[in-house]
Chains A and B, each alone.
Chain A
Amino acid sequence: MLNFELLIPELTLAGVAIIVILLDLVVTRKGLLPVVSIAGVVVAAGFTIAMWGSSSQALFNNMMAVDKFALFFKLLFLVIAALVILASTDYVSKFARFQGEYYALVLLSALGMMLMAATAELISIYIALELTSISLYVLVGFLKDPKSTEASLKYLLLGAVASAVLLFGMALVFGFTGQTQLGEIAQAIQGMSLAGVLDSPGLILGMVLMVAGFGFKIAAVPFHMWVPDVYEGAPTPITAYLSVASKAAGFAIILRVFYSAFGLPSWLSLDWGLVFAVLAAIGMTLGNIIAIPQTNIKRMLGYSSIAQAGYLMVGLAVVGFSSAAEVVGRSSLLFFLASYALTNLGAFTAIIAISNKVDSDLIQDYSGMGKRAPLLALALTLCLISLIGMPPAAGFMAKFYIFSGAVQHDLLWLVIIAVINSVISAYYYLRVVKVMWLGKPASEGKVLSSGALRLALSLSCLGVLLLGIIPGYIMKLAEMAAKMFAF
């Protein structure tokens, strides 16, 4: 069946990306480019929302699934892309050349992520992943200064290794099951006896290698080494983009693969559940502890994102431990990703606005921001509080939801590690808050920000508060989305 109408959001985005590149050649007012890009994103989002009501369908011989799970993620990526483009306008308008390419690449990587959320077949997973990654490699190096170039090269090299590892893992899984389609892999594994699976260490190795490949995308320990350098060197809007969208896409694909292909038999899912639980505990502890001595706020948020990946993996562990019918692990993961995306985007938008003026990413240069830009400082404070996981911000509800799933599956030890980690994280997040509100301002100059930045910031902060105070609606959406398409 070739139901191309199910791909309309993706096709729209691809079309807009091409239009933006072409437009860049002919128009002189570059301010038009972000407007067109955002309009394209909004249209694509409109199509995505319109598809929410219809039932799940498979596409191209079960290569793709258009289910609520995929739609949820598609919508999330589109929201993220729109906010990132909004936050980029100031930043990009300083570039002499390649403005069109910048927006087009953001759109193309968003397209890759949307495909990642929907694919249910190993080869198309790999292609979607590469579309995303290659766009991001270029974007990271967009500043063309030594730091940005170094970051891009590091990201490219490590990313290529991760892709190779992933591909090798996929090849092994294919070798032992003879299938590339996730549902058929699942059937092949269920067809094997316990002894049969134990006799095929290659299959297990394939799974482990796939975890490693995806682990790179979500910046999970021990595949996190690229994070601080890349986050520091990349243009700040791209850092924001990496920290939320790339991570969310990674989780989308992990959920799809591990749930669909390796969800049964249950002892297999218990095993990888435990692997993720251990990785989660290590990830959050390591990320939080190394974040403490950081002096550059982008590096600090880099380590913080490693820790957040740890909290998210608590959700993955829960998925491994729960039965197929139970949605709490998956829905709490989706909710956490949504709230984390808004929070981190808000934080980075505030950082972009501040660094536009003070031209520095050092925490000490944020001194006295409470005086120089009270609303910016307030917004950043709210986002940092949300990252700690304190009410009334979204981060609290997200943690509550994800931990409540963990407690249900006898992972109280993991929850206790996680909550203690929240306390550790409070220390370094609050350090930024302290510098902003208690420090002496370096100069009296007010920090002004452009309308686009203010819009992006207010939208994300509004989202953070909304998800923190009345999360019911989004939780319901997440619950609906968590019922994945079964092949």
Chain B
Amino acid sequence: MDFNYLTTIIFLPVVGAILIAFIPGLSDRLIKRLAALFTFVPLALSIYLFTIFDRVAGGIQFEEKLSWIPAINAHYHLGVDGLSLPLVILMAFLGFLVVLISWKIDLRPREYFAWLLLLETSILGVFCSLDLLLFFLFWEIEVIPMYFLISIWGTGRKEYSAIKYVVYTLFGSAMMLAGILSLYFATGSLSMVDIAQGGMAMVQSIMPVTAIFFLLLVGFAVKLPVFPLHTWLPDAHTDAPTAVSVVLAGALLKMGGYGMIRLCVSIFPQVAQQYAPLLVAFAVVSVLYGAAVTLRQTDLKRLIAYSSISHMGYVLLGIFALGRVSLTGATLQMFSHGVITGLLFAMAGLVMHNAGERNLSKLGGLVRQMPIIAVIFSVAGLGALGLPTTSGFAAEFLVFVGSFSSTAVAGIQVYTILGVLGIVITAGYILWMLQRVFYGPALKQFDKAKDADILERGYIFAFVAVIMLVGIYPAILTDVIKAGIMPVMGLLGG
């Protein structure tokens, strides 16, 4: 490969960020256009990669490998496989759209877009890194932009939420760092590929393998988040600006699920099998607890935030059911949740912006003032509750079928049935929310509320197009994902 696609995709946003931050005298308009340009090109490139990705051969493609720090055997090693490519596209897609979503930001736009672009680089880097140190480096870089984005441009108790986010994340990554160091010591390598191929054979040392597994897992579980490590999420989501909520729910949480498959399951298949029943139980608790708490939220953004906990529970269920179909479903669910919840947050942001209110008990009848928003919000909501023809259906169906038929975990059927109950509760809160916001008698104070303008219509239709495309023809993604799951299954011996 002559052209370094992945490096270009990852670092274009940060180049944009540096230009925006340091070129003096840029007008706000120009800053936004630059940001759009430097996120659009990665999106276009990642879609191009998607089209030329060799689905039959599978494996890691577009690999780039350079020696980075010889002293500790670290490499600048990038590459994507069927597992990470959909997530790269997801992040590139959201990265471009959040710039459009942020078009109306006028508080310190220079810093805002610089941080936003840096955030995109770090998340893309996480999905493309095949070296543990590089992976961790990108993983950590994300914290600082998030801190600034929430605490400066957020609302409500933004500073509290921001520092809570940072402390939780750093705690998780601190555990992960200990895990990575142990792994490095046990194998003498930082290459994810080598360690996964060497499997447990390489990890035969005095170090208890289970301890490494759980150190890594804690880092990912904080991010996913898994009950009971989830409490940062509602605060961070609720107080973050709309665009950041979209990235947070859309792509950042996926770093957790991705890490679990890439490191925990691929490197420690036996340990994963041993503890799968426990983790599946945690998944079901996350699903049911998240859904139940969502039911009683009165704040629009908080409601969507809690629903994420429940939906990411399906991801955890799919991963630790350890079946081929369930893992495919979990990966698809990550993509699907990214787009659907991204859209939900974007719509919630529009409602808040145009109606000036986010308390569900004070909203109502908005379908008259904002018919387009009402329709699209409903589509997103139906996607979240898994209606056929949306990507949510395809993903959750695969997770449930895959988990139910999985042979890796005893009694998985019971857990799966319990998990399916989450769908029912989801239907309850989604429909209740839509009804409270859009239906009922028209309220006088919202008479002046506007519908989506042309730019907003543009990006919300882009979301809907992706949701429907994946919903109607899921094979467009599952073909790729399967190519990524096959090697994992090989390790699991299935």
Contact = CB atoms under 8 A, between A and B. Distances in A.
B274 to A, nearest CB: 21
Contact of B72 (A401, A423, A426): A401
Given A400-B133, A412-B207, A426-B167, A390 B140 contact: yes
Interface stretch (A51-59, A85-93, A107-115, A414-422): A414-422
A49 interface: no
Interface string A384-428: 010000111000110011011001101010011001101100110
Interface in A359-396: 385, 390-392, 396
B178 interface: yes
A474 B171 CA distance: 29
B68 A392 contact: no
B455 interface: no
Contact of B163 (A331, A390, A430): A430
A415 B152 contact: no
Contacts of B67: 472
A147 interface: no
B170 A422 contact: yes
Contacts, number: 92
A438 interface: yes
Given A400-B177, A419-B175, A475-B69, A407 B137 contact: no
A472 B76 CA distance: 12
B431 interface: no
B136 to A, nearest CB: 8
A80 to B, nearest CB: 23
Interface in A168-210: none
A391 B178 CA distance: 16
A11 interface: no
A423 B167 contact: yes
B420 to A, nearest CB: 38
A396 B174 CA distance: 11
Contacts of B113: none
Q: How large is the interface on A (under 10, 10 to 19, 20 to 34, 35 or more residues)?
A: 35 or more
A397 B71 CA distance: 12
Contacts of A478: 71
A390 B140 CA distance: 6
A438 B154 CA distance: 11
Contacts of B294: none
B177 A403 contact: yes
Nearest to B134: A391
Given A419-B177, A437-B148, A475 B170 contact: no
A444 B454 CA distance: 39
Contact of A472 (B68, B159, B171, B184): B68
B185 A472 contact: no
Interface string A110-137: 0000000000000000000000000000
B441 interface: no
A423 B70 contact: no
Nearest to B139: A391
A203 to B, nearest CB: 32
Contacts of B159: 434, 438
A132 to B, nearest CB: 30
A232 interface: no
Given A396-B137, A400-B133, A471 B69 contact: yes
Contacts of A401: 71-72
Interface centre among A423, A475, A476 (most CB of B within 10 A): A423
A10 interface: no
B184 A416 contact: no
A404 B143 contact: no
A430 B148 contact: no
A437 B152 contact: yes
Chain A interface secondary structure, helix, strand, loop or mixed?
Answer: helix
Contact of B166 (A331, A426, A438, A471): A426
Contacts of A476: 70-71
Contact of A426 (B148, B170, B184): B170
B206 interface: yes
Nearest to A408: B185
Interface string A78-111: 0000000000000000000000000000000000
Contacts of A437: 148, 151-152
B181 A391 contact: no
Interface string B412-425: 00000000000000
Contacts of A400: 72, 133, 177, 181
Contact of B181 (A403, A433, A438): A403
Interface string A448-475: 0000000000000000000000111001
B185 A475 contact: no
B182 interface: yes
A392 B159 CA distance: 23
A470 B152 CA distance: 31
A470 B68 contact: yes
A404 B69 CA distance: 14
Contacts of A407: 178, 181-182, 184-185
B346 to A, nearest CB: 26
Contacts of A434: 151, 159, 163
B141 interface: yes
B147 interface: yes
A430 B166 contact: yes
A479 interface: yes
B144 interface: yes
Given A407-B184, A415-B178, A422-B174, 11 more contacts: A390-B144, A401-B72, A407-B181, A423-B170, A423-B174, A434-B163, A437-B152, A438-B152, A438-B159, A471-B71, A475-B69
27 contacts: A390-B141, A390-B144, A391-B138, A396-B137, A400-B133, A401-B72, A403-B178, A407-B184, A407-B185, A410-B206, A415-B178, A415-B181, A426-B167, A430-B147, A430-B166, A433-B147, A434-B151, A434-B159, A438-B152, A470-B68, A471-B69, A471-B71, A472-B70, A472-B71, A475-B69, A475-B72, A476-B70
The 7 closest A-B pairs by CB, nearest first: A419-B174, A475-B71, A391-B137, A407-B181, A423-B170, A472-B69, A407-B185
